[in-house]
């Protein structure tokens, strides 16, 4: 079994070969560390069954540690988290028929609402604008399908995942190949204070914030302000930043090809629609849908990792399975919102076993209710997370700016 702490990133030197390590963009290679052997052999299947049996005998002790409010930063049930990864592996098999159905019930309503919104412009913009809200919900759901494609969990074959992921990436303004790579890096280093900066929300520790100049503190406060984080920031991210492979500009030609091909397809579709209905109508319809969906998407990602009792660690204290389970929240949304967001709120299970299709995540919670309370946040709870901005390495929790100011 591979050591989860030895995930290699591009640019690092492999001590065994002396050569530069190349980061694998697929999450499957990360999750291989949690599987006891090749899945196609009868012996490995028996090993999985035995792993389930061993985990079930320790379930009572493990459950006592799973409460997110009392989980200590220094005492992580690493063995338990790894056992959960093995147990949940049986939910990883996708259904192609179900995948096609999910695309149909998401894409067709989005197209229908888009056309209906355009058709009602003549009755007044305030009559048409409310339709942008459900349309944005379907666009968010479409992005979640792209997300599962990036993990190789939506279709059985990777070629189908890549094809659909690239097509949806044009509609979500997100270059699939580039995003998949940075998102894989996010999964590989989530909760690691030494590997921040890829596919995550910038988070400073209390000491790092105190060490900054007044101007540096002001910039960070501005970045974490809700108006910027959930308003200006999402618009900048999806409309401007995704047009260049920022962060991977020196990592070869693949990020550039992914980004530029997506840009070309976006320009072609936008030009065609503009030529058909006019630029004003196109912007009046699509811009509010895009901006709403972008803000919701960033909000979801924020809440999934920016909650008080998350887990952040350094160096050898960091463990892939532990931080996956305890460093990601269970955003327990109402049924309708959970459907529109494709169960992405079950994020702790997703990080622990990212090859599980989103439509199987509720089954995991039904079969293992002890996972429900780990990192659980309700809709009301989530609004309190907005004020949290700094990781306190002493208290092992996220704190607000005023808590730091009061202690200075």
- Asked if residue 241 has pLDDT above 50, the reply is yes
**Average pLDDT taken over every residue of the chain:** 82
- Asked if residue 198 has pLDDT above 50, the reply is yes
Find out whether 345 and 335 touch, Cβ atoms under 8 Å: no
Which long-range CB contacts under 8 A does 205-211 form with residues at least 24 apart? 205/390, 205/391, 205/392, 205/393, 206/390, 206/391, 206/392, 206/393, 206/394, 206/399, 206/404, 207/393, 209/390, 209/404, 210/404, 210/408
- Asked if residue 408 has pLDDT above 70, the reply is no
User: What pLDDT is stored for residue 76 in this prediction?
Assistant: 32
- Number of residues assigned to the chain: 408
The boundaries of the domain holding residue 364 are: 1-408
- Asked if residue 244 has pLDDT above 50, the reply is yes
Query: For the chain, what is the domain count?
Result: 1
User: What pLDDT is stored for residue 196 in this prediction?
Assistant: 85
Summarize pLDDT for 115-136 with one digit per residue, the tens.
999 999 999 999 999 999 999 9
Read off the pTM: 0.80
């Amino acid at each position: 079994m591979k050591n989860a702490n030895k995930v290699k990133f591009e640019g690092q030197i492999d001590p065994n070969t002396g050569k530069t390590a190349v980061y694998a963009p697929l999450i499957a290679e990360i999750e291989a560390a949690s599987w006891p052997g090749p899945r196609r052999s009868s012996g490995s299947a028996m090993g999985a069954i035995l792993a389930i049996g061993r985990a079930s005998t320790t379930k009572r002790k493990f459950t006592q540690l799973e409460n997110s409010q009392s989980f200590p930063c220094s005492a992580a049930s690493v063995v338990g988290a790894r056992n959960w990864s093995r147990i949940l592996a049986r939910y990883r098999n996708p259904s192609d028929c179900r995948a096609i159905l999910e695309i149909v019930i998401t894409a067709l309503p989005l197209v229908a609402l888009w056309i209906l919104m355009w058709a009602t412009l003549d009755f007044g913009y305030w009559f048409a604008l409310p339709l942008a809200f459900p349309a944005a919900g379907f666009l968010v759901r479409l992005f979640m399908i792209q997300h599962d494609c990036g993990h190789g969990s939506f279709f059985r074959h990777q070629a189908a995942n890549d094809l659909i992921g690239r097509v949806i990436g044009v509609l979500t303004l997100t270059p699939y190949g580039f995003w998949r790579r940075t998102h894989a890096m996010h999964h590989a280093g989530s909760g690691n204070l030494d590997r921040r900066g890829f596919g995550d929300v910038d988070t400073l520790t209390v000491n790092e914030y105190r060490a900054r100049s007044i101007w540096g503190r002001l910039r960070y406060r501005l970045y974490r302000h809700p108006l910027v984080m959930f308003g200006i920031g999402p618009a900048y991210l999806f409309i401007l930043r995704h047009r260049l492979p920022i962060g991977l500009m020196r990592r070869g030609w693949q990020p550039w090809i992914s980004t530029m091909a997506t840009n070309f397809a976006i320009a072609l579709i936008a030009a065609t629609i503009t030529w058909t209905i006019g630029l004003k109508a196109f912007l009046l319809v699509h811009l509010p849908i895009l901006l709403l969906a972008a803000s919701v998407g960033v909000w979801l990602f924020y809440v999934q990792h920016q909650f008080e009792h998350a887990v952040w660690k350094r160096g050898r204290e960091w463990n892939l399975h532990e931080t996956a389970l305890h460093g990601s929240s269970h955003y327990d949304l109402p049924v309708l919102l959970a459907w529109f967001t494709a169960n992405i709120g079950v994020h702790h299970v997703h990080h622990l076993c990212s090859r599980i299709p989103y439509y199987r995540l509720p089954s995991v919670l039904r079969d293992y209710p002890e996972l429900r309370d780990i990192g659980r946040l309700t809709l009301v709870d989530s609004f309190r997370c907005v004020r949290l901005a700094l990781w306190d390495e002493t208290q092992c929790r996220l704190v607000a700016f005023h808590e730091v100011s009061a202690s200075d």
